[in-house]
Chains A and B, each alone.
Chain A
Amino acid sequence: MKLSKTISALCLSLVLMISSFGTANAKRLHAAIADWTGGIITCEVAVAILEREMGYKVKQTVFPSGTGLWEAIAAGELDFACESWPSYAEADDVMFNEDLIYDGKVVKSYKGDGTVDLLGTTGIIGMSDYWIPKYAADELGIKTWKDLNKHKAKFATIETGGKGRLIGCPVAGWNCHDQKRLDLLGIDFQADELGTEAAAIAEAKAAYMRKEPFLLYLWSPHWFFGEFDMVGVQLPEYATCEGDTFTEANNWKTCGTKGWPATGWDKDYTMNYGNPATFAKAEHSEAKAFFEKMKLENIDQAKMLVQVDIKKRDVKEVVNEWLDNNPDKWKSWLPN
């Protein structure tokens, strides 16, 4: 006991000594790691540039995306998060008070309370849909979502019984409302939430290998479309209802099947978002300027996705390699 006491005293004194030599890091930010690979890569690009070019030190924390993350950012627990998809986020209308600008055009205006700061678009434009493999579409003659019910037995698994199965949105916090959408559209399928992107993709990949028909929720850019031949089921055009008439609380009733989620998703101009107080500070003005200029293209993210998810390489390594090889693409994002 005495010995361990002495040891701990020793460690503590050492800590005190050495930390007094250490240099203080003023430019620190704390970011969230997203729960899908695309988001991870976009964030890693931003973090790598902040660290390599602008002398920041960014601490990264794994945190599930969703309203909880928005609240953590509003409370200042985290400084920023990357690649929010507006048609998924439920907190953006409440917490943003800014215009979303892409290529100089206002794509969406927010009138919330401004507890979260819209840092700017990431440049990635996302599209989501339900997909079936090409071979199944050809074989069964499925053209749109209306044909799905006729073949639901082919899409069934042991878990779903008589219904067909949708390999649905894997993460609850994304607010896809898959089952709701299926029910409102009258598609007699059961949405299966597998917990992670990787689990859902693994399931889809295995089914593709066996040439079984399957219905998959997926977004692009995603590497899956490069490897496998998929066809969208063309969900109805995106539509919203006026005001708050269409919410989970009133069981999506008031709007009938006219509004989301009885439709597909909107074209998503994805954006980065952060804590307003942090980015209002003078020492972070450079970071704010960078986020305003950042514009990663879909094709670049897709290339890195292949490296990370198919070649199983480390994200940091892949992103650094991309930065080294394509300086002309990102040099212009740096603040002057």
Chain B
Amino acid sequence: MDAVQKTLENKNNTKSIIKYSLVLLVFIGALFLSTQNDGPSKFPKVVTDEFTFTAWVNEGEDYLKKNYRWITKILANYIKAGYYFLEDFLLDSPWILVAAILTLPCFIVGGLKLGLFSCFVIYFWGAVGLWEASLQTVALMGLSVSLCVFFGVLLGIACSQSDRFENFMKPVLDTMQVMPAFVYLFPALFFFGIGGAPAILATMIYSMPPIIRLTNTGIRQVSKETVESATSFGSSKLQLLLKIKIPMSLPSIMMGINQVIMMALALVVLACFIGAEGIGGQVWQAIRRLDVGWAMEGGLCILFMAIMFDRFSKACSNKEDKLPSNVKKFHLIPQNLEKYKIARILEMPLDITSKIIDFICIKITNYIAIFTSIVVSIFNKNTANDIGEFISRRFYLIPSLIALFVISFVDSNLYEIGTFPKEWKLSIRQPISNAVESLTVDPGFIAFSKGLRGFVYLNLLRPLDIFLTHTPWWYTLAVFASIGYFTVGLRFAIITIILLLFIGACGIWPQSMITLSSVLVSVLLCFIIGVPLGIIASYSERFKNIQDVVLDAMQTLPYFCYLIPVLMFFGGGIVSAVLATVIYAIPPIIRLTALGLTQVSSTYSEVSRSFGGSLLQTLGKVKFPLAVPSLVIGFNQTVIMAFAMQIVTPLIGGKGLGLEVFNGLARSDTGRGLAAGVGIVLLAIIIDRISLAWTKKQRIALGLAKK
């Protein structure tokens, strides 16, 4: 109640009137100043000429290349050797063996459901003709994830053992997580060459933070009683760590691995820009040739791969020891359909096969267990029993091993299996392309897409572009600094000024304003589309369920893939770049709107209803103001995602800093690329901090958080 009154009061406050009029005044000032300028506002030439950040970076790079290149080269060569080794193995070995290596763990860990899904995924890779590309991605993933997990767990343990080290690592991890990946993707290129090695290193930087954090917190959260009882039994520090703490924090570590896998996949796909092979490169080529069907196939391959890896790692983390007795009956079709006869008939063969396989597996394993225990018991009886039990518990693993060996034996000695059979191909390229083509020549659709393009460009993008680029730089700077001062504080205001001055001095002020305007327009569109969807979801459970599935899929897909549908329907251009950004950045806003509205405690809406408020009034006057903090978090995430998207939009005609990064890459001008990349990061950081501080203020004002 208190909170509701407070928000209502706030509105009528004279203070807020002053505030709004001040904002209006500032805006009018900017508008006036921007019309005074003929061309885009430029930083004073003296400064940009003196502050040759680009040249410094390039000189520094040359120096490092000349003197320290040998170190990075050695490192790169080791990683490259590992990667080529894995890649050669996957590409040269018979396809059934590769398929078995990928699917059997899924069967073992995730049961028949995940196993069947993984079979489908692998069939799909081969069927659409992206077998090699997919395996290259798998190889890159495999190597980078295992390196990440290895170093991540080590660093996490180190963090958990020493507070000093943790304090040192915290800001490092923060920077790693805030920095968009491409900022170090490109420098990696210049030190480690092109291809797999820099991709793996960049992936490690990008996806290691969650596992370090989760290992650290997992170990630190082990309950004091457990630790104490272990120490009282006289275990040493090392024993405590290895026998108690790490095993007990395994669930947390497994969660970290899951996150690492998902993040690594996103970056490995993006790494095609620095010459890493794989599906990313295929999608890029498809986009370059405007081949929608091809790009779609690539996108689906990535999506399925992401789902498979996600489910697999999740299944690993919540796995109890499976014993022959507790294997559950498998249901492919939802159980509530069980009452229909067709469902039961359909499931019958699956059920029987799975039972037969189980039976064979268990029998074989038992025989092996008995056999080995007999052999070993000649030497030592106790170990024999242990080994026998050890083997008989792994009644899936042992048969899988045997299967793998049989396959490789057959391939090398009896019959060469080779690569994925060409006859099994099932291309969906042509149908998709045809469908899109028939839509794009439809006059109604042309009118719609042209209208939308024209509307977004004429009414949103161009005015904002002109406004932001024409407003004098010192004015924009002052506005940002004062917003920073009022929301966060003096220190942040000073930092904002320094960061913006840096951007200006690098000579990329106009480009950064263009980027800012595309981001702002995208975020605005996200709001206009996302908030209503969120509201609907908060009222209708069914709608929400459907939406959740779609959003889940959207969030597992690497951001590169969002270019495809936009390119399909709207062609290339700056508006398409904005639309792609909207599609990528919209999920958090929908989710958090729905969450914010459903979380508003029902008492508030009850009270409002009992006072005679209509549904709309309750929504607009009570629920919405209370959901604002959640909305602002959504805004915050959307902005960050929109900034991240700016790096790939130049592929379909985006402009601004992203294009500068691309130009830097193509001209081999590291300084230029880096300056633009850093520019995106700085803008993102400023807006991120401001919106976070604002959220906090709102929450305090609403009494939802303490000062």
Contact = CB atoms under 8 A, between A and B. Distances in A.
A binds B: yes
Interface of A: 1, 3-4, 6-8, 10-11, 14-15, 17-19, 21-22, 33, 35, 37, 59, 61-68, 70-72, 75, 77-78, 158-159, 171-173, 175, 193-200, 202-203, 206, 309, 312
Contact of B662 (A1, A22, A61, A172): A172
Contacts of B254: 1
A203 B667 contact: no
Contacts of B457: 158-159
B195 A196 contact: no
Given A18-B93, A195-B652, A64 B666 contact: yes
B535 interface: no
A202 B93 contact: no
B599 interface: no
A63 B663 CA distance: 13
Interface stretch (B158-166, B286-294, B303-311): B286-294
Contact of A66 (B288, B397, B668): B668
8 contacts: A22-B92, A159-B462, A172-B662, A196-B288, A198-B288, A200-B572, A202-B571, A206-B571
Contacts of A312: 291, 430, 433
Contacts of B669: 67
Given A3-B109, A14-B404, A75-B193, A171 B666 contact: yes
Contacts of B86: 15
Given A62-B272, A159-B573, A203-B571, A11 B290 contact: no
A207 B636 CA distance: 40
Given A3-B394, A18-B97, A62-B272, 20 more contacts: A3-B108, A8-B146, A14-B408, A15-B85, A18-B89, A62-B285, A63-B194, A63-B275, A64-B662, A66-B666, A66-B667, A67-B667, A68-B665, A78-B194, A173-B663, A175-B667, A193-B653, A198-B290, A199-B572, A309-B289
Contacts of A15: 85-86, 89
A195 B650 contact: yes
Contacts of A21: 412
Nearest to B196: A61
B88 interface: yes
Contacts of A72: 193-194, 275
B250 interface: yes
Contacts of B573: 159, 194
A3 B319 contact: yes
Interface secondary structure of B, over-half rule = helix
A173 B666 contact: yes
Contacts of B462: 159
B651 A195 contact: yes
B213 to A, nearest CB: 19
Contact of B281 (A17, A61, A199): A61
B571 A67 contact: no
Contacts of B319: 3
Nearest to B76: A77
Contact of B284 (A62, A77, A199): A62
A198 B92 contact: no
Contacts of A65: 666
A159 B453 CA distance: 10
A21 B412 CA distance: 8
B703 to A, nearest CB: 44
Nearest to B87: A59
Most buried by B among A4, A35, A68, A159: A68
A258 B571 CA distance: 37
A175 B571 CA distance: 24
Contacts of A22: 88-89, 92-93
Interface in B641-699: 650-654, 659, 662-663, 665-669
B155 interface: no
B620 interface: no
Interface residues of B, number: 62
Contacts of A63: 194, 275
B667 A194 contact: no
B454 interface: yes
Given A4-B316, A14-B101, A159-B573, A77 B88 contact: no
B458 interface: yes
Contacts of B659: 172, 193
B565 interface: no
A196 B295 CA distance: 15
Contacts of A3: 108-109, 316, 319, 394, 397
A194 B666 contact: no
B516 interface: no
Given A10-B401, A61-B281, A67-B667, A198 B289 contact: yes
Contact of B289 (A37, A75, A175): A37
A77 B193 contact: yes
Interface string B34-58: 0000000000000000000000000
B668 A67 contact: yes
A39 to B, nearest CB: 11
Most buried by A among B281, B412, B659, B666: B666
A78 B189 CA distance: 13
A70 B573 CA distance: 29
B297 interface: no
- Lowest 7 CB-CB distances: which A-B pairs, in order? A173-B666, A199-B572, A66-B666, A198-B290, A68-B668, A67-B668, A77-B193
A196 B572 contact: yes
A266 to B, nearest CB: 21
A16 to B, nearest CB: 9
Contacts of B88: 19, 22
A35 B401 CA distance: 44
Interface in B126-158: 146
Nearest to A15: B89
A198 B294 CA distance: 14
